[in-house]
Every structure is written in structure tokens, then in C-alpha cells.
């Protein structure tokens, strides 16, 4: 706050304004404005002096204190406003950091989920591949065993057929009292010929 001017222009302006009051004013019942009375001039002069003294005293003692109080209050308000602005800026930065941290956490969580899903898919594919390989190996071994058993069965088929045919022939010829017998070699030759004919 700017201190008021300490010159005496204001009291003199007031005195001149009072002197410019027309005579009708004091003529109509206001003797305090009768400038023809010599006491009035003294009262005006002493009033101006007292006003000037009060003005100087107030401008040198009370007004600086009031100015100091107003300055202190203004500084305190400005300081509080600065603190509030800094707090608001800090809060805005904290909100931005929280938003950024939440976004980063969401992105990291999504990346972890994608990584786990990819690892699970790769593990499932590897397990499926291993299982298919094992199944193919088991199937190949089973086919080998089947082929071996089939080959063994086919190899033993002529002997079984020969034995069966020999037994049937003996049972058929014996009740008839036929003395002629057929040798095993003949039966085997006949069975081999029959098998060869059936394969052809």
C-alpha cells in the first residue's frame, strides 16, 4: 500500500472550499461560516493546524503499522496461494505418476499373461509332439509284432494244415479198412500245392 502524501495541500484545499461558501449559508443560521467574524478565521486556522498535526501523526505512526499489517497479510495470502499452487502441482504430478504407473502395471500384467499363455501353448505343443512320436513308435512296434506274428502264423500254417489233413485222412481210411496209408511228406506236398494255388 502506498503511503498518502504528507503535504498540506489537502487542508488548504478544504479551507479554500470553506471560504468559497456563499454568504447565504451563514446568513441562513450558520454562524460558523461567518467569515467576517475574526474568531472564525482563527478557528479555521487552528482546525487546519490540528488536522495537519493529526495527519502527520497518523501518517508517521498508525498508517505505517496499518500498511505493515496489510503487507504482512498480503504476503501471507500470496504465500498461502503459492503453497496451494505447489500442492496442486504436486497433486497433479502424483495423479499423472499414478496413472502412468497403473498403465505400466497393466501393460506388464498383459505381457506376463501373454508370456504365460505362449509358454503353455509351446509346452502343450511339445507334449503333443512327444506323445504323437511315442504313439507312432508304439504303432510301428505293434505293426512289427503283428507282422512277425502273422509271418510266424503263416509259417506254421502248412505244418498245422498237414497235421490236420494227416489226422483226417487216417480217420477216414481206418474205418474203411484200407491198408494204404498216405505218408506225411505226401500230405505236406499236397498242402503246399493247395496253398500255392490259393495264393496264386
Residue bearing cell 493546524: 49
Residue 3 has pLDDT above 50, yes or no: no
Average pLDDT over residues 115-144: 91
Predicted local distance difference test score (pLDDT) of residue 6: 47
Same domain, 98 and 162: no
Among 39, 70, 103, residue at a domain's last position: 103
Residue 166 contacts residue 184 (beta carbons within 8 Å): yes
Q: What is the pTM of this model?
A: 0.37
Among 73, 103, 133, residue at a domain's last position: 103
- Full domain range(s) for residue 45: 9-103
Mean pLDDT over each residue of the chain, to the nearest integer: 78
Please, which pLDDT band fits residue 82 given cuts at 50, 70 and 90? very high
d(CA 13, CA 17): 6
Please, which pLDDT band fits residue 151 given cuts at 50, 70 and 90? confident
Average pLDDT over residues 31-36: 66
Predicted local distance difference test score (pLDDT) of residue 41: 76
Residue 59 contacts residue 6 (beta carbons within 8 Å): yes
Residue 75 has pLDDT above 80, yes or no: yes
**Does a structural domain hold residue 117?**
no
**Does a structural domain hold residue 112?**
no
d(CA 17, CA 15): 5
Average pLDDT over residues 194-198: 69
Predicted local distance difference test score (pLDDT) of residue 14: 65
Residue bearing cell 509358454: 119
Q: Which residues lie closer than 8 Å to 191 by C-beta, 6 or more apart? A: 158, 161, 162, 165
Report residue 13 as a C-alpha cell.
484545499
Amino acid at each position: 500500500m502506498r503511503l498518502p502524501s504528507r503535504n498540506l495541500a489537502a487542508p488548504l484545499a478544504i479551507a479554500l472550499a470553506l471560504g468559497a461558501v456563499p454568504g447565504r449559508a451563514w446568513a441562513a443560521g450558520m454562524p460558523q461560516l461567518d467569515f467576517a467574524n475574526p474568531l472564525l478565521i482563527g478557528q479555521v486556522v487552528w482546525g487546519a493546524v490540528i488536522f495537519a498535526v493529526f495527519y502527520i501523526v497518523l501518517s508517521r505512526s498508525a498508517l505505517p503499522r496499518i500498511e505493515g499489517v496489510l503487507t504482512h497479510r498480503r504476503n501471507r495470502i500470496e504465500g498461502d496461494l503459492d503453497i496451494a499452487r505447489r500442492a496442486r502441482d504436486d497433486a497433479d504430478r502424483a495423479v499423472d505418476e499414478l496413472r502412468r504407473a497403473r498403465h505400466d502395471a497393466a501393460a506388464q500384467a498383459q505381457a506376463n499373461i501373454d508370456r504365460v499363455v505362449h509358454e503353455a501353448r509351446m509346452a502343450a505343443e511339445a507334449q503333443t509332439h512327444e506323445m504323437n512320436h511315442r504313439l507312432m513308435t508304439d504303432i510301428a512296434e505293434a505293426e512289427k509284432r503283428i507282422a512277425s506274428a502273422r509271418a510266424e502264423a503263416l509259417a506254421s500254417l502248412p505244418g498245422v494244415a498237414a497235421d490236420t489233413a494227416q489226422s483226417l485222412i487216417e480217420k477216414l481210411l481206418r474205418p474203411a479198412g484200407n491198408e494204404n496209408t498216405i505218408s506225411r511228406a505226401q500230405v505236406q506236398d499236397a498242402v503246399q500245392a493247395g496253398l500255392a494255388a490259393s495264393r496264386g
